[in-house]
Amino acid sequence: MKYPALQRCLLALALISWGGVLVYFHTSGRIAKYLAPDFRLIALAGGLGLIVVGLFNLLTSRIKASCGHDHGPDDAHDHESLDLHPLAAVSIMILPVWLCTAWTKDGFSIAALTRKGLNDTPAEAGSLFLSSVLPPLTKEIIEAQHPANADGYRTFPLMELFFSSADPEMRGLVGDMKIVTEGRLVPDPDNEHQFRLYRLFITCCAADSRPVPIIARFPDGAPEVEPNSWISLSGTITYPDEGEGHIPVLVVDFSTPKEAPMEESFMRGY
């Protein structure tokens, strides 16, 4: 390129653009869809760092500096040239980031959720999660930990219902209990008469997230809601063995549409 200062300016603007996207995601709250809380400040610091480096390079773009070694009389190489035209290189670095930021829905499609295990059963997940981390339980302890609401339904996190199916003790204590839980509702591809209620479990970022589902059955007919809508379901939790091991099945009495919370995912330690 004939104008190395302009090239440096363009590359500095690319750094500022990347950093600006990270800062934007943090300040807008969209970062909550992608990162667990422990990692959000790190992303913000990285974004601010990119902006600072980009501004420094932009302000010093006209300053000539030594490359640190001598060039021979026939050595015409330089440290500014790129294999690609700078405008094309900057476009490749910036445009995909801008377009993804503008067009993403901050969520997974049903197809992506299926690949991540939406249709897996707790038996396939294979974990005595609760029995390994909790002392011996009684029904009185469970009822004290999950007080009944005005309608007589006890609030249970969806993850607890999912993993309780792998624990015979929990199945015996919680089975046939009136409970209320919430999540996103999608049709079950394996059975047109039932649905799956799920939430996402995330360890550090959206890339490692996985859906945690239970089965929802509606004796009086399913609610007319868009697939993947956020909803609260009240009913009786059961753990039938239908050939795939004991699975959590919520026989729904009634449902209530809900607004999606900012923190849609179960986080590590939350």
pLDDT for 81-114, tens place per residue?
666 777 887 888 889 999 998 888 888 888 888 8
pLDDT of 178 reads 96
Ranking 66-75, 162-171, 202-211 by mean pLDDT, the lowest is: 66-75
Residue 10 CA to residue 183 CA, distance in Å, equals 45
pLDDT at 154 over 90: yes
User: What average pLDDT does range 226-234 have in this prediction?
Assistant: 93
Residue 248 CA to residue 161 CA, distance in Å, equals 7
27: confidence class by pLDDT, cuts 50, 70, 90: very high
pLDDT of 130 reads 47
In single-letter form, the type of residue at position 177 comes to M
Q: Is 29 left (phi over 0), alpha (psi -120 to 50) or beta?
A: left
Neighbours of 266 (CB within 10 A): 19
The model's pTM: 0.75
- DSSP string of 113-127, one letter each residue: HHHTTTT--HHHH--
268: confidence class by pLDDT, cuts 50, 70, 90: low
Instruction: Select the more confidently predicted residue: 263 or 171.
Output: 171
Residue 131 CA to residue 161 CA, distance in Å, equals 13
- Which helix (H) or strand (E) covers residue 256, if one does? strand 249-257
Residue 32 CA to residue 100 CA, distance in Å, equals 17
Q: 12: Cβ–Cβ under 8 A, 6 or more apart, which residues?
A: 54, 55, 57, 58, 61
Residue 29 CA to residue 263 CA, distance in Å, equals 10
**24-50 per-residue burial string, b: 16 or more CB within 10 A, e: under 16:** ebbeeeebbbbbbeeeeeebbeebeeb
Half-sphere exposure of 261 (CA within 13 A, CB side): 10
Residue 22 CA to residue 212 CA, distance in Å, equals 28
As given in the structure block, the two tokens for residue 76 are 């015409």
pLDDT of 169 reads 84
